Amino acid sequence: MAITAKTIMVQGTASHVGKSVLVAALCRIFVQDGYKVAPFKSQNMALNSFVTKGGGEMGRAQVVQAEAACVEPSVDMNPILLKPTGHASSQVVVLGRPVGNLSAQRYHTDYAPKALDVIEGALDRLRSLYDIIVIEGAGSPAEVNLQEHEIVNMRIARMADAPVLIVADIDKGGALASVVGTLELISPEDRDRVAGFIINKFRGDISLFKPAVDFLEMKTGKPVFGVVPYYQDFRIQEEDTVSEDRRWAEQVQDPGWVDVAVIQLPHISNFTDFDPLEDEPDVRLRYVGKGSRLGNPDLIIIPGSKNTIGDLAFLKRSGLASKIIGLHKSGTPVVGICGGYQMLGRELNDPLHTESEIPRIEGLGLLDISTTFAPEKVTTQVEAQVDGGGPLLKGAMGSLVTGYEIHMGRTELVSGASPAFTILMRSGEKVHYTDGAVSQDGMTFGTYIHGIFDNDDFRRTIINRLRRMKGYEPLEAALATPSVEQRHKDFEKLASVVRGSLDMDKIYSVLGLDGPKEGL
């Protein structure tokens, strides 16, 4: 196959310096400039994942970047996904399909070198289809203990013959030292591949930082491509952790607002399921974990988990389980998504130790369901009809929603529970399966469908039901910006900020391109 795409790679001095968001920004900028662009990350470790139209599982960060690039997500954009299952072990997903659970030691020494052929094949396929590939690294290339076996930083830069931009987070402090130290700890060959640096998350007067930029360029002999400000008036989805400023511990008392508490499980997955709720003008979304105050929210959501039984045990040890049950008894609605849905049931069984060494654990008992884990993993996009009733779902009955499934459990309804949804389409094929469950009083429901709150009318209906329970008038859906439209507005804002902060002429120069295509 013809390899035509230019490549550029974004690496960092550490994790969480903003690599994923800057890759998304560059993807949108290059699209604005007339290029066909794709993101790429050879190996991603994250619990926040997504299912493609073909039923493959991939990291959510590359899905966000693909959306920024205005292209359909493909597992080639993230050929290796590691989903931590416990201490020093992960489920390994290759080209969208799980191949098993491996310890960190076994993965790095035995499996990772074999994955290079998979990675190179995925990268070659993308390069034959696109003009530019924007590659993201992981952690830091200066982690000397991992350099021999790493398959995500400089080894990939060499494979792709990509110039490298090193990103440092100045908001954390020590940015200059981390840049200089990173260069010092990589090989001379890799040092030559570094084209320059980006200083990210800057606050304050940029003119006061110029002496530091001059020093860094003189010290390293490499240019600073730009200083990107710390932005707060828009949001790009997080990669794999809930940011600190979203972990509010107290209940909001503002009149007219709905207080939604998401339980922050130790192995929380797909927390971006709830970002659309945060975008609503009358919702305060907060994450509650160990040491946080649950208070008296208007809705409790138990999210997905990569270690459902272990996280359920955590809820019980921490006292959150008894608080959730107590609030439910006093009238607080509870919703469970995927692993959270399983936790709401009578029992969870794992006879084959698919997820845990614990063979059985009692659930929270809020839904009359029983779950048994199995080795086969369901990964599919779905379209479903809302069938459940009661105070929460009644207003949405009969409407259609879309989302995706990622789960290894099989759940059966027992006496007292009714299905919440009927799945009508799976990966483009007509089917007819029940999904989820609703309690007899209608105050609790669960589902395996991720992305359920991305459906604008469904989301607004649930919020308005909560508003009525508080004695508030409902708001029309038209008052809220549709989720997809809002995300693209945020990508445009991000691209504007980053374009205005970087020397794009230099970036095009290291790519070997003249700049925006003619006529734009």
The set of residues, in sequence order, having a beta carbon less than 8 Å from that of 421 and lying 6+ positions away, is 384, 385, 386, 387, 388, 401, 434, 435, 436, 447, 449
Q: Quote the crossing angle between the two packed helices 175-184 and 210-220, to the nearest 10°.
A: 10
- The order of strands in the sheet holding 43-45 is 43-45, 80-86, 89-94, 97-103
Q: Read out DSSP for 240-279?
A: SS--GGG---S----TT-EEEEEE--TTEE-GGGGHHHHH
Q: What per-residue confidence (pLDDT) applies to 87?
A: 66
Q: For the residues 48-66, what does the mean pLDDT come to?
A: 94
Answer yes or no: are the C-beta atoms of 118 and 79 closer than 8 Å.
yes
**Confidence class for position 70, pLDDT limits 50, 70, 90:** very high
Grade residue 306 by pLDDT with cuts at 50, 70 and 90: confident
Is residue 463 within a helix (H) or strand (E), and if so which, with residue range? helix 456-469
| Fold match, 6-41+60-72+112-235+487-510 / 257-471 | yes
| pLDDT score for 251 | 46
CA distance 19 to 61: 10
**pLDDT score for 117:** 94
What are 396-426's pLDDT values in tens digits? 999 999 999 998 889 999 887 899 999 999 9
Q: Which amino acid is at 401?
A: V
Question: Once rounded to an integer, what is the mean pLDDT over residues 7-32?
Answer: 96
Q: Which residues pair with 406 in a beta bridge?
A: 379
Report the pLDDT value the prediction gives residue 2, as an integer from 0 to 100.
66
Give residue limits of the domains in the chain: 6-41+60-72+112-235+487-510, 257-471
pLDDT attached to residue 248: 47
**What is the pLDDT, as a whole number, of residue 352?**
86
Give the domain 6-41+60-72+112-235+487-510 fold. Rossmann fold (3.40.50)
DSSP letters for 64-117: HHHHHTTS---GGGS-EEEEEEETTEEEEEETTEEEEEEEHHHIIIIIGGGGHH
Cα 461 vs. chain centroid, distance in angstroms?
A: 25
The pLDDT of residue 136 is above 50: yes
Question: What span, in angstroms and rounded, lies between the C-alpha atoms of 367 and 345?
Answer: 5
* Predicted local distance difference test score (pLDDT) of residue 102: 80
Any bridge partners for residue 37, and if so which?
Answer: 132
Lowest mean pLDDT among 101-110, 171-180, 345-354: 101-110
Burial class from Cβ neighbours inside 10 Å (0-12, 13-18, 19+) for residue 254 reads exposed
The pLDDT assigned to 520 comes to 61
> Residue 80: its pLDDT value, please?
96
Dist. CA 352–CA 410, nearest whole Å: 13
142 close to 186: Cβ distance less than 8 angstroms: yes
Lookup: tokens for 227:
């200083």
For residues 141 and 219, give the distance between their C-alpha atoms in angstroms, rounded to a whole number: 19
**What residue has token string 């290339």?**
141
**pLDDT for position 481:** 62
**Which architecture, in CATH terms, is 257-471?**
3-Layer(aba) Sandwich (3.40)
Provide φ and ψ at 507, rounded to 5°: -65, -45
| Residues in contact with 358: Cβ distance below 8 Å, sequence separation at least 6, in sequence order | 309, 310, 313, 350
DSSP character string of 111-174? IGGGGHHHHHHHHHHHHTT-SEEEEE--S-TT-TTTTTT--SSHHHHHHHT--EEEEEEGGGS-
**pLDDT at site 238:** 64
**Phi-psi label, residue 376: left if phi above 0, alpha if psi -120 to 50, beta otherwise:** beta
Average per-residue pLDDT in the chain?
A: 91
Joined tokens for residue 516: 């925006």
Q: Dihedral, CA atoms, 449, 319, 46, 16, nearest 10 degrees?
A: 130
Share of the chain above pLDDT 70, in %: 94
pLDDT reported for residue 249: 43
Angstrom distance (rounded) from CA 240 to CA 237? 9
pLDDT at 484: 82
Active-site residue list: 338, 450
74 closest CA partner among 100, 47, 41, 106: 41
Q: How far from each other are the two terminal CA atoms of the chain, in whole angstroms?
A: 30
**pLDDT > 50? residue 479:** no
pLDDT tens-digit profile of 496-512? 999 999 999 999 999 99
- Note the pLDDT tens digit of each residue in 333-384: 999 999 999 999 999 999 988 877 888 999 999 999 999 998 888 899 999 9
State the residue for tokens 């992960």: 90
Count Cα atoms within 13 angstroms, Cβ side, for 408.
Answer: 24
Helix (H, G, I), strand (E, B) or coil at 343: helix
Q: Stretch 3-30: mean pLDDT, rounded?
A: 95
Report the pLDDT averaged over residues 268-284.
90
pLDDT at residue 137 is higher than 90: yes
Weakest-pLDDT range from 117-126, 236-245, 428-437: 236-245
- Closest to 502 measured CA to CA, from 213, 72, 130: 213
Q: Which of 459, 444, 455, 420 is nearest to 285 (CA)?
A: 459
Provide the 8-state DSSP code for 321: H
State yes or no: pLDDT of 480 exceeds 80: no
Q: Check pLDDT > 60 for residue 321.
A: yes
pLDDT attached to residue 148 = 81
pLDDT digits (tens, 9 = 90+) for 188-235: 999 999 999 999 999 988 898 999 999 999 999 999 999 999 987 777
With tokens 């493959």, the residue in question is: 56
Q: What is the mean pLDDT of residues 16-24?
A: 95
Whole-number pLDDT of residue 212: 93
The C-alpha torsion from 123 through 127 and 130 to 132, rounded to 10°, is 90
